[in-house]
Structures are given as structure tokens and as C-alpha cells.
Structure 1
Amino acid sequence: MTRTDDALRPALAMSRFGLGARRGRGLDLPGDPIDALREEIRAGADPLSDNPDLAPSDEVLRQFYAFREARKEARESAQQGGAGKASPGMRPDMAAGSPERAGAKDRPEGPPLPRRIFLAELEARAEGAWRRPGVGFAERMVLFWSNHFAVSAAKGPVVRVLAGAFEREAIRPHVFGRFADMLMTVETHPAMLVFLDNQRSVGANSPASRGGRNGLNENLAREILELHTLGVDGGYTQGDVTALAQAITGWTIVGPQGRMGEPGRFMFNPRAHEPGDRTILGVRYPASGFGQGRAALLALARHPATARHVATKLARHFVADEPPQALVDALAATYRNTDGNLAAVSETLVRHELAWAPERAKVRSPLEFTIALMRATDAQPNGQRLAGVLASMGQPLWAPPGPNGFSDLAPAWASAEGVSARMDVASLVASQASSDDPRALAETLFGPLLSAQTREAVARAETRQQGLALLFLSPEFQRR
């Protein structure tokens, strides 16, 4: 690269591979930006394990089960005109007729348990992104993989309370690990099993079939093949979908009664598993209970079509809607040669010349835009406000419109309606931001990436608030 290109690298690293420069820190990176990115790969993603407000998924489910039971008892008590009892494990103020609820009409109640859990997870994720030192490449990878293995809180209250725990447990530990490990953790996580209905999938010839009253559900198997591994053009057939669905029958969750283990945990139920051998993509998997589905997933993780699918999505996410084929090929080759080592794949990405093209072809999603605003203004995360802002821009957190996640293409976010929503958010943040000089902030955030047009527009603003809003709506801020 030329000297000019070298000067652009810190700003490109922050914008393309990271979360955006932070107010007061700007583009200050120790040493070469590529080395800084590689160090973040070695360090991995923040596990958020030091947050006392976040519980493991099985504990979250047990809390939810108790909350749901308390609500049920309260409704029944109200219908019968009597007093309710608190379920085991619930705070007494959740039971009808308790002293804590006696004055409930006289004081506003806080949000119900599912909402509190969701907002706590949202704030923890946002705060981790806001305070993240350096570039924030690992956090960007969390966002990418969470969208690749999407679950939606819109499915219902169970997925809603589990969405944050799913990301913490199934995504964060593995963003720079082996793809196969992340795949297995994802597909056995309660959030994914409920989202795609596999906890109810029963083999037709299994003891739990009950004469066909319980049936096979192919949702999870189809999305594993189409979205999570091979891709829509990965060469699988409907027969492969059915065979994989049969192989993962019995992958379920222990219910609130805890008849088969600790409530809320993943379990393999042999009584619901379809007996017999399976053939998937021409490979025969002998009957082996849980091991049959596990072997199929591990083979899918190593499939060349999975390497190509993952490589294409990564290149599209970080570089361009139509990614350079040479970059895709390089990422796919690293994936195949390292058995899906995502740290090696990520290093190939940040070291490849085509990933550092000065043209910023990607439009920031509403979530990326919001995080960049927080970092640019040092705005403290507030779960309730963040949820509203993201929903207003069409990207409600952990609630994509389908299993394929939110779009990674510019047209999805560059519509007239989307731009109008961003203008409203930019104006709101500008009105609440500190007394930064917009011209100085623009130089701090973008340095050599700042265009003469944006510099002039910000300088000519009539007020500080208008200058900040113009900066937040500039091509430099909207694109990465």
C-alpha cells in the first residue's frame, strides 16, 4: 500500500472492523492496526461473566417457569376471589394477596420478569460494546455470528428471556474458536431448540410418538442446512432435511417439572428419537442416539460448501455487498485447511489486501450506527431507550424477521423510511450530547477519512447541535 493508504489504516480499522472511534480516544492504536486486530483475536470476546445481573440460561428458564406459575396462580386467585401463593423460587411480591402487593394500585410496578431479563441483557451487551477499548473487532464478530445463528424474541417469552443468554453462551466463547464447537453449542441451546421447535420434534417410530399424535418437525434441520452450514446452494435435498430432522429428534429441554433432569437444561430424550440409520448428503450415520445427530453436524461443519458459505458471508459483512471473489476464496481455503478455525479465518480477513480497500461500500446497520453514536458521544447505555431506538430504525434487538437474521445488504437500511428514522435518532443524540465542538469531534473520529465536503458542512452549521447531527448523518459515519 502507499503511504497515503497506510495513513488511512487506523481509521479504516475502527470503521470497517470495529465499532467506531471513541470520544476522547479517537484513532489512537498501539502499533500497526493489523497487529491490533490480531491481538483482539487472541484476546477473544468479552464473556460478560462479571455482570451479576446475568444468569445462565437454565437459571433464567427456572426463573421464568416460576414467574409463569405465579402469574397463573394470581389469575386463578383473582377469578376465585381468594389469595394466591408464591411459587417456590419466586419473590413473594409476585404472588396475589401478598403484603408486598397490597399497595400495588398506589405505586407503579416495574416491568415484569421477562422484560427485566431482556433489558439487563441488552444493557450488558451495549455497555460491553460502548466501553470496549481498541477497535472492538471481537465484539463485531459477536454481532456477526449472533445474526448468522439468529433467534428471535418475537417467537415468544421463552426465546425472549433466553436471547441474551444464548449469545453469551453459544456465540461469545466461540467467535475465534472452532466453527464445529459453536455449531454444536448453538444447535443444543434451549433458545435455538425452542425458536425452531425442535424440543417438540418426535420420531414417527419412536416410543413417544403415541400412534402419530406427536410428529417430526423439520424446522431446525432445514435451517441448519440452508442457513447455518451449507447455504441455500449447498447441494442438499429435501431427503437430507428429513434425515437430519430424524437424526436430531430427542434433542429437547427439561421441562419445569424436572421429571428428566434439572429444569431448563438441554437433554437427549431417547424415547423421542427416531430409531434406525440415517443417510445425509450420501453419508450413512448408524443408529447411535444423540451421537447420530452430533456426527452429522460435525460432518456438516467440515463440508466444503460450509467453508464457502461462511467465507462469503464474512467477506460480505466486512467488505462489500458483492465481495471480491479472491477474498472469499482465501477465507474459504483457510477454513478448509484449519478445520474451521475461526481465529485463523479472521486473521486471513484482516491481513488480506482486498479487505483494506479505501472505498467504504457497507452501510452501517441500525445497531452498528447506534453503537457508533454511543462511542462517539460517551452516551451511557440505557436498555429501555436503546430498545426503542433500535425498533424505530427497523432492527429491534434479537428480533429479526426470520431465521436468516437481519439483512447485511445496503438496500435494507438505505430506504427513505430508514434514512428518515436515522435523521430523527441523529438529531436526538446531537441534542443530548456533550459540548464537543463538532469540527474537532469529526477530526477525532475519522482523521484522514474525513472528506472536504463533510468538513465544510459541519463547519458551516449554524449551531453545535446542527453540526453534530450533520456529522452523525455524514457518509463517513453511515458507511464502513
Structure 2
Amino acid sequence: MTASFATVAARRYGYGLRPGETPPGDIEALMRQLERGAATRLAFPREGVTGRRETAARLVAVRTVEAKAAEQGRPNMALRQDSEREAERIFVRDALARLLQAVQSENGFHERLASFWIDHFQIDARVSYETNLLMGSYEVEVIRPNLGGRFRDLLTAAALHPAMLIAFDQTRSASPQSQAGALPGAELRDQLARHILVEQTTGGIGVSEEDVRGAALILAGVGVDPATLAYAYVPAQADRVAQTVLGKVYGAQGRKPDDCRTMLEDLAERPETVDHLCRKLAAHFVGGQRAGEVADAMKAAWTAGGGRLATVYRAMLEHPVAFSPEPQVLQRPFDMVVSALRAFGLSARQLNDIAMQASGVAIESSAEPEPTVGTRLAPGVAAQLTLEGLRRMGQPIWQPPMLAGDPTEEAAWLTGPLLQERIAWARLATRVLPIPPDPERLMQAVLADAVPDDLARLVREAPSRSQAMTMILASPAFNRR
């Protein structure tokens, strides 16, 4: 059976089919999702970006006061534990809201791109108390508003966001030539500089240790105001000497606080960066086997469009292989869970109830305190269907996966234990959620006109409804797009 354009568009460039939702019928429909997605009001952070900064600053202040009291021999463990519990509730609510956002959105292409870029500019939210609090704001402030604009703006916003600076220990970096550099324990830290050069921009092509050190010295002085958790520049930690990165000199006429922004803008426009990112995007959406030929068209569009990402996406969609019906790319666990929950056709009310049962925290502010989902789920079961299930499958939300090998390689996601977790999730979901009782209806909801003949036969001949349902969600047809 040959899949239609609409089915391929929904599954390859979105998060799959959803009952009652019209899939994109052409490339223009996919491109319009970028604008609509950028204008969508998100459920995270619940109190808004400004409110979250205020909440985070308050909780960090509480921790600071408690730490000082402990140093003076007056520890208050109850206060510390209360602040940690509140921070954990905030993180869990944000993570669940991010999951439900993908499930319920009619702008699947925008959601997929948000996931791509949050993975590219990855931060481990669990690396510190502050990043735990700021992760939702980071995605909303940095990724979503900039994913259709110029890459230089996206890069600068990501690299200089407080969550990124804290996660890579940039706030304590001091140039040896600076005033702070002479103090005991002062150190030039190059983690962020290395990550920017190797992962976020050039892919490491042509990057030397001298380039990494030069970039680290240019970034020295860039930090975060501990009281407000906002970007700050600390002259006492900054470098004063001209530095060279990939052949370009910064500060020949005297170093300036904006040298770091100039360096980031230059990195964003390097040909190595364009090649690295176009290949990565093409492999993510179209598949590694054809990534090279698609990336060539994308690179030409990047140059012609001045680095505007929307033109790059359009070039990818307009390539002759972009809508080939043969599935090419393995769905990662987050994609699989979102696609399945979409196909189940659960209402916003039901999804919110599952989130409430998983965390005890309402995702929608108007939510009633008691769940109304068809079968009340135990907290552990609801967690297995959401955040805990994703963790077991190797992809916890806002935490880079710790897998054997490069997680962009399929083999890293197809180990025996991780495959068993996918199957376990499918069995649980089809057993406890109120979904269509007829396996063939579920198969049509999941795959539409892309149902392979062999899968249809296996489902018809399955010895039980449960096994048929699990077969569908564990099938290669569903797990590849």
C-alpha cells in the first residue's frame, strides 16, 4: 500500500495522525504551521517567562539563605527540602506540559522542529537546581520564537541564555589575565566554548584546541546575575587580550563586551556550520541515506536566504525525495509516545487527567481536582505512560540521553532492553487507556493508508485484542516514519 502525501506529511514532518484533525495537504500547509506554532500560547512555564524568573529567583534566594545559615551552624533542612520539592514539582509540571503540547498541537511541523532544536542546543536540566527551574523558560524564550528565523539569532539566544551558561559552568570562568583570575581557585572554563564550536556550529571541522581556548577567553566574563538569574557581564572575570578563533581576530582594537556575540554570529555563518546543520536536519527528517543530496539543496537555500531557517526547511520539503512513501527514520521514544497518544484520540481533559495522576499537579489552570479519565490510573501507571516511561526508554524530557554510542545512530535506540521497554509501554497503554476497542480501527488511526499488508494480516490473525494492539504499536511501520 502506498502512503499518500498527507499521511507522509503528518508522520514524517509532524507527530502523526489524530482523529478529527486534517493532515497537511501540501507544502504550504506545513510551512503555515511554523507561523501558527510561534503564535501558540503554551502551557509552560505556567506563570509565564517573567513569572518563572521571579519564582526561580525566589527559590534560589531561599537556598542561598539556608546555605549561609548552615555555614554558621544553623542548618534548616526542612526549608531546604521544601524548596527542593517545589522545584521538582515545577520541573515535572513543565515536562508533562511539554509532552501534552506535542500531543495536542495541530502544528506538528513546528513541534518537531522545536524538539530538533532543543536536542541540538541540549542542556541537562538536572545538572543544577537553577537549570531545573529554568528549562521550560529556555525552550519558550530561545527555541520556539527563533526556529523559523535566522540561525545566528537562534545560536546567540541559546548560547547566552542563563540556563546554558549555568549548565556549562560558564558563570565561574575567569580569564587568567583578569582581576578575578588572580584569586585562589580561579580558572578558565572551556566547556561551553567547546560545545559551541564542536556541537552547536561547525561540527568540529577545523577546530583546534587553540580555537577552543580563544573562544573560552572571549566568553570569559559572560555570566548570570545570581539574584535575578538574568544574563550578566562581569568585567572582573573578562579577558583583555585580542583572541583568534578559526582565523578571525577579536579585539584587535581593544576587547569589548559584545565580542562574544560577534564571535557567535561569525560561527553561525561559517560554511562548516551550514554543512553540519543541513546534514543534521536532513538526516533527522528524511533519513541518513539521502541526507547528503537533500542537504545540498538546503545549503543553497541557506546561502540565498541569509541563514533564515524557514527557507532551509522549505528547500528540504521541496526536494524530490522529501515525501517518498518508504519509511526511513526510526522514531525516538518521545516521538513514539506522542504519536501513539495522538492516534488514541484522547481529549484534552483526559490527557490532563493522566498528567495529574502522574504528578499530582494540574497542567491546565482550569482543571478540576479529580480526574475524569475512563479508568482511574494509579500514579505509578500514569507515570509509566508519561515521564517515567520515557526515562525507561532512554529519552527523559530535557535530559540528554545516556546511551551506548551516538544516539543519532539507530543502533543506540534498538538495544534489547530499550526495545523491551517500548513493547512494555505499548502493552500498558493499550490495556489501561480508553482507546478504540477494535485493533483495525487503531491501525487505521495510527497509519491511515500506510498500513503494510503483512501488518494487516498479523493484526487480523492475532490471538487476542491486546496482542493485536501491541503488535501495531511495536511494528516497524509505526516506529519508522
Give the TM-score of the pair, scaled to structure 2.
Answer: 0.85
Q: Distance in 1 between matches of 2:277 and 2:336?
A: 24
Q: Distance in 2 between matches of 1:121 and 1:188?
A: 22
1:13 counterpart = 2:9: yes
Shift of residue 435, structure 1, vs aligned partner:
4.6
SS at match of 1:215: coil
Provide closer, same or farther for how the CA distance between residues 73 and 221 of structure 1 changes in structure 2, counting only shifts above 3 A: closer
Q: Distance in 1 between matches of 2:237 and 2:292?
A: 44
Corresponding residue for 1:125? Answer: 98
Q: Distance in 1 between matches of 2:268 and 2:180?
A: 30
Provide closer, same or farther for how the CA distance between residues 191 and 326 of structure 1 changes in structure 2, counting only shifts above 3 A: same
Contact preservation (8 Å) 2:344, 2:435: no
User: Of 271, 278, 283, which aligns to 1:311?
Assistant: 278
Corresponding residue for 1:392? Answer: 392
CA offsets per residue over residues 361-392 of structure 1, 9 Å max, x none? 21110111111121122451525412211111
Contact preservation (8 Å) 1:430, 1:466: no
Provide closer, same or farther for how the CA distance between residues 110 and 239 of structure 1 changes in structure 2, counting only shifts above 3 A: closer
Contact preservation (8 Å) 1:236, 1:281: yes
Contact preservation (8 Å) 1:149, 1:405: no
1:59 counterpart = 2:26: no
SS at match of 2:116: helix
Contact preservation (8 Å) 1:229, 1:300: yes
How does 1:242-261 map onto structure 2 within 5 Å?
A: 242-256=213-227
Question: Letter of the aligned partner of 2:397 in structure 1?
Answer: L
Shift of residue 438, structure 1, vs aligned partner:
1.5
User: Of 271, 282, 298, which aligns to 2:236?
Assistant: 271
Q: Distance in 2 between matches of 1:367 and 1:118?
A: 17
Provide closer, same or farther for how the CA distance between residues 336 and 451 of structure 1 changes in structure 2, counting only shifts above 3 A: same
Shift of residue 348, structure 1, vs aligned partner:
1.0
Q: Distance in 2 between matches of 1:128 and 1:46?
A: 13
Shift of residue 75, structure 1, vs aligned partner:
6.8
CA root-mean-square deviation: 2.8
How does 1:196-211 map onto structure 2 within 5 Å?
A: 196-211=168-183
1:450 counterpart = 2:451: yes
Q: Distance in 2 between matches of 1:155 and 1:216?
A: 20
1:281 counterpart = 2:246: yes
Q: Distance in 2 between matches of 1:254 and 1:214?
A: 18
Q: Distance in 2 between matches of 1:76 and 1:296?
A: 41
Corresponding residue for 2:419? Answer: 419
CA offsets per residue over residues 207-239 of structure 1, 9 Å max, x none? 12135631111111111110000112x212111
User: Of 10, 23, 30, which aligns to 1:29?
Assistant: 23
Contact preservation (8 Å) 1:54, 1:120: no
Provide closer, same or farther for how the CA distance between residues 194 and 404 of structure 1 changes in structure 2, counting only shifts above 3 A: farther
Q: Distance in 2 between matches of 1:416 and 1:118?
A: 30
Corresponding residue for 1:91? Answer: none
Give the TM-score of the pair, scaled to structure 1.
Answer: 0.85
How does 1:277-426 map onto structure 2 within 5 Å?
A: 277-286=242-251, 287-379=254-346, 380=351, 382=355, 384=359, 385=383, 386-401=386-401, 407-426=407-426
Provide closer, same or farther for how the CA distance between residues 214 and 95 of structure 1 changes in structure 2, counting only shifts above 3 A: closer
Q: Distance in 2 between matches of 1:51 and 1:240?
A: 38
Query: Which stretch shows the higher mean deviation, 174-183 or 441-450?
Result: 441-450
Q: Distance in 1 between matches of 2:435 and 2:40?
A: 34
Question: Letter of the aligned partner of 2:86 in structure 1?
Answer: L
Shift of residue 10, structure 1, vs aligned partner:
1.0
Shift of residue 476, structure 1, vs aligned partner:
1.8
Provide closer, same or farther for how the CA distance between residues 299 and 455 of structure 1 changes in structure 2, counting only shifts above 3 A: same
Shift of residue 299, structure 1, vs aligned partner:
0.5
Q: Distance in 1 between matches of 2:407 and 2:192?
A: 20
Corresponding residue for 1:223? Answer: 195
Q: Distance in 1 between matches of 2:455 and 2:130?
A: 46
1:41 counterpart = 2:6: no
CA offsets per residue over residues 108-156 of structure 1, 9 Å max, x none? x99801211111211221121111125x000000000000000002322
Q: Distance in 2 between matches of 1:200 and 1:70?
A: 20
Contact preservation (8 Å) 1:38, 1:347: yes
Shift of residue 403, structure 1, vs aligned partner:
13
Question: Letter of the aligned partner of 1:219 in structure 2?
Answer: Q
Shift of residue 250, structure 1, vs aligned partner:
0.7
Query: Which stretches in structure 1 are left out of the alignment for 5+ residues?
Result: 86-93, 102-108, 257-262
Provide closer, same or farther for how the CA distance between residues 289 and 175 of structure 1 changes in structure 2, counting only shifts above 3 A: same
